[in-house]
Chain A
Amino acid sequence: MAEIRAISDDVRTSTEPPKRHLISIEDLDREIIERLLATARNFARSLEREMKKLPTLRGRTVVNLFFESSTRTASSFELAAKRLSADVMTIRAVGSSVDKGESLKDTAHTLNAYQPDVIVIRHFQIGAPRLVAEATGAHIVNAGDGKHQHPTQALLDLYTMQEAFGHLAGLQVAIVGDILHSRVARSLVQALRIVDAQATCIGPPALLPRGFGQIGCEVTSDITQIESADVVYVLRMQSERMAAGENFVPSLREYSARWGITPERLRPGQVVMHPGPINRGVEIDARVADSPDSLIEMQVRSGLVVRMAVLYDLLTKGPVSLARPVDLNEVA
């Protein structure tokens, strides 16, 4: 992965090259994404074996630092590290949202004393991964920072689409729901742009970020625009957005009626994706979620191998050649 911009280069005194991090999809290019997806595919094959554990990252330490609740991302990173034989420690700081910046920096300094190789961080505030990157010597993986970025989600979504369609270029993806508050949507729009797929964002007017149309995706409130999509990507409708007085939409009921994904709104051949957790009957009809056209469970499986690929790529020095299949038994 490319280096994140201008982080700690000026602070670092030694000549040690800056650490590679995965903080934003914007820092990636097509070649790196293809390399990660290819690595993930190799790992998927290895997981078909009876012995699923690989010695690749033996002796390496991965710290998962979660300041926000998470089921699938936290478990997926933990299992990914374990499958690669890394030592993994998961720290959940949910509920300590009163501890803001200073404690985050202090926590980072404390963890740094253990010399972790990778810190996977999820935080409710934009910019937290950058702060931890500046404060520690570890590779940082952003597992979601506020409404900003969730790059491994976008990568696993690309992986899932590629498995389902055999290609990414030219795919039409309709992203439906609360775009404004969604880090998943932001990361995915950028990732789709890099691989030459087309994104259309569809949702209630107040939940479409102003200016989004100028960054290379279509923006509309018209749900019938999902018609031409190969993939209908449904976002979770967050109940906190429905707090009285916010008025993003008049009611959840009205949202479901106008933007909910029902079998009637889909056409044959379309697949449905959702980053989870799903609210059945709100943004997605239960019949859609459980249909054979739903790739939701496959997304979870993709998450494991993509996160294995990310950890592997960050910790094995230098770019892994695409021409040479990754030797999965190689000890990094």
Chain B
Amino acid sequence: MSLYARSAAPGTFVIRGARVLDPVEGIDSTLDVIIEKGVIVELAQPGGKAGGKPVAAEGLVLAPAFVDPHVHLRVPGREDEETIASGSAAAAAGGYCAILAMPNTDPVVDCAAVLGALVEQAQEDALVPTGFMAAISRGLAGEELTEMGELAVAGAAAFTDDGKPIRSAGLMRRALQYAGSTGRRLALHCEEPTLSHHGQMHEGIVSAELGLGGYPSVAESVAVARDLALAAYEEQPVHLMHLSTRESVELLRRALADGVRASAEATPHHLCLTDEAVRSLDTNLKMNPPLRPEEDRRALIEALKDGVISCIATDHAPHARQEKDVPFEAAPFGVTGLETAFAALHTNLVEPGLVSLETLLERMSAGPARAFCLPIPRIAIGEPANLVLLDLESSWMVVEQRFRSLSVNSWLLGQTLKGEVALTVAGGRVAFGSERIGA
């Protein structure tokens, strides 16, 4: 199990009177959840006399904590933008009990030495269990495979060249063949670079009007088609990252029906926004893949509901203030998301009735855990406590001062969201909201 966190004393407490909602266990009832030394020991009818420090949770929802399979922690190399400590604190505040970090750092996580240093750092600093993906190709150059066997032994959770597509179909085939022997998944950034070429936003009416370089939907879907065909041919599993287009979803749906072992993720921003938002030229709306039109957003929501897309991933991508404080075309791609994912999706998908709360909770927790063979957070006796306590009625405004992340490039700044994380328990330790635990 390739997740690492700093050691801390496991908690002993009782979460009293919450609506316990675990879509995997099929629980939806008001219960007291008794945790001893970090382990769930009893699910009791409310009002019992069980000992332990109480957490008053009447009116709140207690669910399995979230798992984010796509986070940029920016270490090594850009510790001004994020660190393991700040990024994992942001994850804790967002309700996560596990996160997976991307290897497109400086230096790239493409050898056991770099990975080993990260694992050590996480054991010192990580507030929630953190895993690290290693690169598929050395230096993300798309030419030579990394030593995946040694990297897997050193703790790599999966392999990805995220941020860059694998240009060569031949190398992709070799990566699929070899990764299979290590028992680790490939997580793929699907983009045909000769089609996304200089693209700044989705190619469509809005880009035509603004004059921004177009990044067409087909730049993603031709890569999805190629990689699904290779995965089918090699009979290997793949995970498709940050899908953004209707065509990609249709290709995935067909491949799943044909028995291809594929999983896929969508981000909160692609599920909540469309390319119309880019008219403001706000650089916090610039991401790769870009925001797409409403019909693509609707296709992503449908796929999330029926499970074709089984994971929500934030693609949390912190950037220094001065790098985003520039004209749109000069700005880097990426937005933060760990601390706002649940609230944004609750506000924009659950409240309007587009997605049920149960589905959202499952896609933020069990879905991603399953895709990467991580332990599934469950509310069951004998399980380690991986819990998030949610106040669905609380409205709060997204402001810079609230962020634990070192970066503030959020597309939600200034917006009021409904739904707030009150307490996060990760691996039996209280990672966020400890002030809620009474004496």
Contacts and interface: CB of A to CB of B under 8 A. Distances in A.
Interface of A: 5-6, 10, 26, 100-102, 104-105, 123, 125-128, 130-131, 145-149, 181, 183, 186, 190, 209-212, 214-215
B162 interface: no
Interface string B201-225: 0011111111111101000000000
Contacts of B216: 210
A209 B326 contact: no
B208 A100 contact: no
A200 to B, nearest CB: 15
B415 interface: no
Measured as residues with beta carbon below 8 angstroms from the partner, the interface class of chain B is 20 to 34
Given A210-B203, A210-B204, A211-B205, A101 B326 contact: yes
B169 interface: no
Given A126-B211, A130-B281, A211-B206, 6 more contacts: A125-B330, A126-B328, A127-B327, A127-B328, A131-B326, A214-B205
B325 interface: yes
A241 to B, nearest CB: 12
Contact of A211 (B204, B280, B328): B204
Contacts of B330: 100-101, 125
B208 A210 contact: yes
Interface of chain A: mostly helix, strand, loop or mixed: mixed
Given A6-B280, A101-B331, A126-B212, A211 B207 contact: yes
Interface in B278-304: 280-281, 283
A125 B214 contact: no
B211 A125 contact: no
Contacts of A210: 203-204, 207-208, 214, 216
Contacts of A100: 326-327, 330
A123 B211 CA distance: 14
Contacts of A127: 281, 283, 327-329
B414 interface: yes
16 contacts: A10-B414, A101-B322, A102-B322, A102-B326, A104-B326, A123-B327, A126-B281, A126-B329, A128-B327, A131-B326, A146-B329, A181-B211, A210-B204, A210-B214, A211-B207, A212-B208
Given A101-B322, A126-B212, A126-B281, A209 B207 contact: yes
A300 to B, nearest CB: 24
Contacts of B414: 10
A102 B325 contact: yes
- Scoring B214, B280, B326, B331 by chain A CB atoms within 10 A of each residue's CB, the highest score goes to B326
Contact of B211 (A101, A131, A147): A147
Contacts of B280: 5-6
Contacts of B208: 209-212, 215
B222 to A, nearest CB: 16
Interface string B293-336: 00000000000000000000000000000110111111100000
Contact of A147 (B212, B283, B322): B212
B211 A186 contact: yes
Contacts of A211: 203-208
B203 A148 contact: no
Interface string B150-174: 0000000000000000000000000
Contacts of A147: 211-213
Contacts of A183: 211
Nearest to B204: A211
A126 B203 contact: no
A77 B176 CA distance: 60
- Scoring B208, B212, B331 by chain A CB atoms within 10 A of each residue's CB, the highest score goes to B208
Of all A-B residue pairs in the complex, the 5 with the closest CB atoms, nearest first, are A101-B326, A147-B211, A209-B208, A125-B327, A211-B205
B209 A186 contact: yes
A190 B209 CA distance: 9
Nearest to A101: B326
Contacts of A10: 414
A320 to B, nearest CB: 29
B410 to A, nearest CB: 15
Contacts of B281: 126-127, 130
